[in-house]
C-alpha cells in the first residue's frame, strides 16, 4: 500500500553528499509509488525556536515562517526520512533547528511511526555517526511508538561528488525499495 513519506534534506551544499544519498533513497521510494513530499531546509525561511513553550499549550508556534505550513505535513506522514551532513560529530545545525521547531507536535497525535536517518561525513569510521544517532534518537523518544528504523552510513566522503562511487548509494536505493 502506498505510504505518505516525507524526506527532509538539511545540507545547504548544492548537490552535496547527503542530498545525493537521499536522492537514491527517494528513487527507490518513487519506484514503489509512494506519496513523497520533499523538504529542503536550504529553501525555507526557518527561524530558531524561541523557547517560549507557547506551543506546549496552544500546539501552534508563535513564529511566522515556512514551518507554519509544514506541521500538518509532518503530522500526517507515515515515515520521516532525515538526511544530514555530520557537523562536529552531530547532526547539522539546520536539522537540529528543524527538529526543535517541530515542538508544537510534541504531545499531539502524530501518524509517523518510523524514522530513517541518512548521514554523510568525512570520517571513515561508522562511529562518526554516533552523535547524530543520539540526536535523532533523543527527538524520537519524545514521540510515542516511534522507532529509528534504519541508519545509512555515508562515511569517508568530504567533497561534492565523493559519494558517487560508493556502494552506500545502491544500499540506500535497496533499503527504500524494501519499504512497501
Ligand X SMILES: Cc1cc2nc3c(=O)[nH]c(=O)nc-3n(C[C@H](O)[C@H](O)[C@H](O)COP(=O)(O)O)c2cc1C
Across 25-175, where does the E strand assignment appear?
A: 35-40, 79-85, 114-120, 147-154
Smallest gap, in angstroms, from Cβ of residue 117 to ligand X? 13
Q: Please identify which residue in the block is written with the cell numbers 535497496.
A: 174
Nearer CB in complex with ligand X: 45/164:
164
For residues 34 and 21, give the distance between their C-alpha atoms in angstroms, rounded to a whole number: 18
Q: Does 88 bind ligand X (CB under 6 A)?
A: yes
Among 29, 39, 117, 121, which residue interacts with ligand X (rule: CB under 6 A)? Answer: 121
Q: Does 89 bind ligand X (CB under 6 A)?
A: yes
Alpha carbon of 33 to those of 29, 76, 125, 174: distances in Å? Answer: 7, 17, 34, 15
Smallest gap, in angstroms, from Cβ of residue 88 to ligand X? 5
33 touches 1 (CB < 8 A) = no
Smallest gap, in angstroms, from Cβ of residue 13 to ligand X? 4
In degrees rounded to 5, what are phi and psi of residue 51? 75, 20
Query: How much of the chain is in helix, strand and coil states, percent to nearest 5?
Result: 40, 20, 40
86 touches 10 (CB < 8 A) = no
Nearer CB in complex with ligand X: 18/97:
18
By CB under 6 A, the residues from 4 to 23 that bind ligand X are 11, 13, 16-19
Smallest gap, in angstroms, from Cβ of residue 37 to ligand X? 20
Among 120, 132, 140, 175, which residue interacts with ligand X (rule: CB under 6 A)? Answer: 120
Give the binding range for ligand X (CB under 6 A) out of 30-38, 45-53, 81-89, 109-117.
81-89
175 touches 121 (CB < 8 A) = no
Q: Does 97 bind ligand X (CB under 6 A)?
A: no
Residues that bind ligand X (CB under 6 A): 11, 13, 16-19, 85-89, 120-123, 128, 157-158
Amino acid at each position: 500500500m502506498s505510504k505518505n513519506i516525507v524526506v527532509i534534506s538539511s545540507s545547504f551544499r548544492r548537490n552535496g553528499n547527503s542530498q545525493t544519498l537521499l536522492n537514491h533513497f527517494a528513487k527507490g521510494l518513487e519506484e514503489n509509488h509512494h506519496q513523497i513530499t520533499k523538504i529542503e531546509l536550504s529553501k525555507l525561511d526557518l527561524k530558531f525556536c524561541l523557547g517560549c513553550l507557547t506551543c506546549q499549550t496552544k500546539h501552534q508556534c508563535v513564529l511566522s515562517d515556512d514551518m507554519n505550513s509544514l506541521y500538518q505535513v509532518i503530522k500526517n506522514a507515515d515515515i520521516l526520512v532525515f538526511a544530514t551532513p555530520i557537523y562536529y560529530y552531530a547532526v547539522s545545525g539546520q536539522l537540529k533547528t528543524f527538529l526543535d521547531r517541530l515542538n508544537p507536535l510534541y504531545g499531539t497525535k502524530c501518524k509517523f511511526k518510523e524514522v530513517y536517518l541518512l548521514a554523510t561525513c568525512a570520517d571513515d569510521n561508522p562511529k562518526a555517526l554516533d552523535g547524530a544517532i543520539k540526536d535523532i534518537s533523543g527527538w524520537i523518544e519524545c514521540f510515542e511508538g516511534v522507532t529509528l528504523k534504519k541508519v545509512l552510513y555515508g562515511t569517508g566522503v568530504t567533497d561534492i561528488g565523493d559519494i558517487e562511487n560508493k556502494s552506500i548509494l545502491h544500499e540506500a536505493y535497496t533499503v527504500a525499495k524494501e519499504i512497501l
